[in-house]
């Protein structure tokens, strides 16, 4: 019999059917039939509900792919912000030092961003429709991804820093002035099934508006959005604005950035990045 | 681990962090089930975690967020792995438990409670009360207590509680996972014991 309260807590956790190590193989989809039957029987006997068992189940390969894509982009982004290029890894026998001398950039190695400009894409902050758009979470890639849309990355060109070729941290706002011609590329990690479109909103505190933009849609699901800072910001106060692009089923795109509904969750995502308007 | 899943080696991790696509895919394929199972272990036993959404969807969101944290700042967390202490899967499992608890706390409590609670802020345990651990507690009550303790501790304390008490991980491994000294871990264990008794008294008095 456990004597202390903490020991009782430990014992309760140990007896939890969820602590069974076989769940990892189950989640990986590699548990053999015999163990699977035994595990599910144990789960049933322990009163584990169907929803939890489903949550423990294998995921589609596309889910792992999307995470891998986002990880690669995040690594590339970190390398970029350090002023270096991530490199294609050497064979396993090679040393770490050798890997640093390899010259193939990740932007070329990854087919996710094969359409990217010469510079590796910056990875935008991602937020979900269900999350606060103003959330300041410094999460680098998708926090929430609807099941029927892949991870999207956002690349903004045309900011002042781009022109100066100054290394910019991933989370720094894109600095724009009246002369800035902005080109925003939204690129899916995998080809999108079905038609998608996008809407852009700019938000600052409680103010928001939909700027005038031109949209170009590619069959792959990539979207290019262009516009000028002068059109967007003239008459607007200087400072940091949050640029959010909503991507998804054209019929489900919001008419207001804070509009959300449960049906949108599965068909629309928001990709956001801060933009610093100089006011001049 | 079944024969189909190979443990991640230092070379594979290094190659992945150097941007090798196949190594990243191998890494994710191996670690996603580890993270997913840890997240379910935390979420499925927490009240009000799913906010009316399907649990699987909530789990997927948490899994992505854990990976986002693992790869943030040039994968600083993953680079802390010490193969001599524990396999990568074990290391990541520990981080996933702690991250899941942290994300859950941020979603279910005021963001201001994320500030760590210093031990001196804990109220003293009333010594005249009967010893709580001598009372029989139901399993449901224990799980409710686990929830309350997670929310009652600061993020660091909740992480130690998860790994050391609930997952029975060795102190050395907890130190490596959380980048803490042994003394700090033992000090937290003591604080957690006090906090647990305090919370249990509160629950019993409700």
Contact at 8 Å (CB) between A223 and A247? yes
Nearest of A11, A36, A38 to residue A26 by alpha carbon: A36
Give B194 to chain A, closest Cα distance, Å.
10
* Candidate CATH numbers 2.60.40, 1.10.1060, 1.10.1740, 1.10.10; the one for domain B7-108: 1.10.1740
A122 and A228 assigned to the same domain: yes
Contact at 8 Å (CB) between A141 and B28? no
* pLDDT band at residue B16 under the 50/70/90 scheme: very high
Nearest of A140, A268, A275 to residue A211 by alpha carbon: A275
pLDDT given for residue A172 in this prediction: 61
pLDDT, greater one: B91 or A150 = B91
pLDDT given for residue A58 in this prediction: 94
Q: Token pair for residue A26?
A: 């189950």
Q: Tell me: pLDDT of A164 over 60.
A: no
Q: Tell me: pLDDT of A168 over 80.
A: no
A44 and A120 assigned to the same domain: no
First to last CA, chain A: 73
Q: Which residues in chain B have their CB less than 8 angstroms from residue A71's CB?
A: 16, 24, 27-28, 67, 71
Q: Tell me: pLDDT of A30 over 90.
A: yes
A125 and A244 assigned to the same domain: yes
Nearest of A149, A97, A116 to residue A271 by alpha carbon: A149
Cβ within 8 Å of A, B 128-187 = 132-133, 137, 139, 142-143, 145-146, 149, 165-168
Length, in residues, of chain A: 280
Q: Token pair for residue A125?
A: 């902050």
A53 and A188 assigned to the same domain: no
Q: Tell me: pLDDT of A202 over 50.
A: yes
The answer to whether residue A155 is domain-embedded is: yes
In chain A, the residue whose alpha carbon lies closest to the alpha carbon of B42 is A18
Q: Tell me: pLDDT of A98 over 60.
A: no
A33 and A128 assigned to the same domain: no
pLDDT given for residue A56 in this prediction: 96
Domain segments of chain B: what residues? 7-108, 118-206
Q: Tell me: pLDDT of A41 over 50.
A: yes
The answer to whether residue A206 is domain-embedded is: yes
Pairing assessment for the beta strands A181-188 and A207-209 based on DSSP bridges = unpaired
pLDDT in tens, A205-258: 778 899 999 988 888 888 999 999 999 998 999 988 888 888 888 888 888 776
Decide if A33 touches B, using CB distance below 8 A: no
pLDDT in tens, B92-133: 999 998 888 888 776 654 332 333 333 333 333 333 344 444
Nearest of A86, A173, A228, A26 to residue B37 by alpha carbon: A26
The answer to whether residue A258 is domain-embedded is: yes
Decide if A75 touches B, using CB distance below 8 A: yes
Length, in residues, of chain B: 206
pLDDT in tens, B73-90: 889 999 999 999 889 999
Q: What single-letter DSSP state applies at residue A219?
A: T
Give A147 to chain B, closest Cα distance, Å.
8
A159 and A265 assigned to the same domain: yes
- Contact A88/B20, CB-based, under 8 Å? yes
Tokens 């010259």: give the residue. Answer: A103
* CATH number for A217: 2.60.40.10
Q: Which domain holds residue A50?
A: 21-58
- Contact A89/B167, CB-based, under 8 Å? no
Q: Token pair for residue B136?
A: 């029989």
pLDDT given for residue B171 in this prediction: 93
Pairing assessment for the beta strands A197-204 and A239-248 based on DSSP bridges = antiparallel
Q: Token pair for residue A3?
A: 């004597």
Q: Tell me: pLDDT of A46 over 60.
A: yes
pLDDT, greater one: B33 or B118 = B33
Which stretch of A188-202, B14-28, B171-185 has the lowest confidence by average pLDDT?
A188-202
* pLDDT band at residue B47 under the 50/70/90 scheme: low
The answer to whether residue A63 is domain-embedded is: no
> Structure pTM?
0.57
Q: Tell me: pLDDT of A114 over 50.
A: no
* pLDDT band at residue A87 under the 50/70/90 scheme: very low
CA angle, residues A66, A168, A116, in degrees to nearest 5: 45
CATH number of B118-206: 1.10.10.10
CA distances from A124 to A69, A151, A152, A161, A178 (A): 13, 11, 9, 16, 23
The answer to whether residue A14 is domain-embedded is: no
- Contact A28/B43, CB-based, under 8 Å? no
* pLDDT band at residue A189 under the 50/70/90 scheme: low
The answer to whether residue A81 is domain-embedded is: no
A159 and A269 assigned to the same domain: yes
A45 and A124 assigned to the same domain: no
Decide if B114 touches A, using CB distance below 8 A: no
A44 and A182 assigned to the same domain: no
The answer to whether residue A48 is domain-embedded is: yes
The answer to whether residue A77 is domain-embedded is: no
Pairing assessment for the beta strands A174-176 and A214-217 based on DSSP bridges = unpaired
Please state, in angstroms and rounded to a whole number, the distance separating the CA atoms of residues A218 and A56.
36
Please tell me the total count of domains within chain A: 2
Q: Token pair for residue A68?
A: 């891998």
pLDDT given for residue A55 in this prediction: 94
Q: Token pair for residue B33?
A: 């089930």
């Amino acid at each position: 019999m456990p004597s202390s309260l903490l020991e009782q807590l430990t014992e309760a956790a140990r007896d939890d059917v969820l602590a069974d190590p076989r769940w990892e193989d189950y989640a990986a989809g590699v548990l053999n039939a015999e163990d699977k039957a035994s595990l599910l029987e144990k789960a049933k006997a322990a009163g584990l509900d169907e929803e939890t068992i489903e949550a423990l189940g294998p995921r589609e390969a596309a889910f792992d792919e999307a995470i891998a894509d986002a990880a690669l982009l995040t690594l590339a982004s970190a390398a970029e912000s350090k002023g270096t290029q991530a490199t294609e890894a050497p064979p396993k026998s090679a040393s770490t030092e050798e890997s640093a001398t390899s010259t193939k950039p990740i932007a070329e190695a990854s087919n996710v961003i094969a359409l990217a400009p010469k510079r590796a894409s910056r990875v935008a902050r991602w937020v979900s429709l269900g999350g606060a758009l103003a959330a300041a979470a410094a999460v680098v890639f998708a926090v929430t991804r609807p099941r029927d849309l892949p991870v999207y990355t956002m690349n903004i060109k045309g900011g002042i820093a781009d022109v100066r070729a100054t290394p910019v941290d991933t989370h720094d706002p894109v600095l724009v002035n009246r002369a800035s011609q902005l080109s925003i590329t939204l690129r899916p990690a995998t080809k999108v099934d079905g038609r998608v479109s996008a809407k852009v909103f700019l938000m600052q505190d409680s103010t928001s508006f939909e700027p005038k933009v031109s949209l170009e849609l590619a069959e792959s699901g990539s979207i290019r959005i262009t516009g000028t800072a002068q059109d967007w910001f003239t008459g607007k106060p200087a400072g940091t604005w949050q640029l959010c692009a909503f991507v998804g089923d054209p019929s489900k795109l919001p008419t207001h950035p804070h509009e959300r509904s449960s049906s949108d969750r599965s068909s629309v995502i928001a990709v956001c990045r801060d933009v610093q308007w100089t006011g001049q | 681990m079944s024969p189909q899943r190979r443990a991640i080696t230092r070379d594979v991790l290094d190659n992945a962090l150097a941007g090798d696509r196949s190594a990243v895919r191998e890494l994710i394929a191996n670690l996603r089930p580890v993270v997913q199972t840890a997240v379910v272990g935390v979420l499925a036993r927490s009240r009000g975690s799913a906010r009316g959404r399907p649990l699987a969807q909530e789990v997927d969101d948490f899994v992505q967020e854990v990976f986002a944290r693992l790869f943030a700042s040039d994968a600083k967390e993953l680079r802390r792995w010490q193969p001599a202490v524990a396999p990568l899967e074990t290391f990541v499992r520990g981080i996933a438990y702690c991250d899941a608890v942290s994300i859950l706390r941020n979603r279910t409590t005021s963001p201001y409670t994320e500030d760590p609670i210093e031990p001196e802020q804990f109220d003293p345990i009333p010594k005249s009360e009967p010893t709580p651990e001598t009372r029989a507690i139901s399993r449901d009550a224990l799980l409710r207590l686990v929830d309350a303790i997670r929310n009652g501790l600061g993020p660091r304390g909740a992480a130690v509680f998860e790994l050391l008490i609930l997952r029975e991980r060795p102190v050395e491994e907890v130190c490596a996972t959380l980048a803490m000294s042994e003394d700090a871990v033992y000090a937290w264990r003591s604080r957690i014991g006090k906090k647990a008794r305090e919370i249990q008294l509160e629950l019993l008095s409700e």
